[in-house]
Amino acid sequence: MSKFEVVQPTTTVYCEQRGEGWTLTGITDIEEHTSVMFEGVRHTLTAREIVEKLLPNQLAREKEKGA
C-alpha cells in the first residue's frame, strides 16, 4: 500500500458534472470526508473520490492547457 500524501486546503479539483472546485479543508486520510466548493455550493465528498478522480481530472486539464 502506498503512503498517503496530505492534500492542502484550497486545492483545485475538477468534476465532470460540477465543474472546477476547490477543497475547503485539507485531507489527511483517504477514509475521511471533506468539503469541496463548486459554483458557490458546498459539497461533502469522500477523500477517496477527491484523490482518485477529481485531482487527476484537474491535473489532466492543467496539462492540456499547458499550465
DSSP-assigned letters across all residues of 33-60: EEEEEETTEEEEEEHHHIIIIIHHHHHH
Question: Is 33 part of any domain?
Answer: yes
Instruction: Say what the pLDDT of residue 66 is.
Output: 80
In a domain, 54, yes or no: yes
Structural domain contains residue 37: yes
Would 47 be classed as within a structural domain? yes
Kindly state whether residue 2 falls inside one of the protein's structural domains: no
pLDDT at 49 (0 to 100): 97
Domains contained in the chain, number = 1
In a domain, 3, yes or no: no
1 has pLDDT over 90: no
Domain that holds residue 32: 12-61
Let me know if residue 5 belongs to a domain.
no
Instruction: Tell me how far apart the alpha carbons of residues 6 and 27 are, in angstroms, rounded to a whole number.
Output: 6
Max Cα–Cα distance, the chain, nearest Å? 36
Backbone angles phi, psi at 46, to 5 degrees: -75, 145
Judged by DSSP in three states, 24 sits in coil
Asked, for residue 21, whether it belongs to a domain, the answer is yes
- pTM comes to 0.88
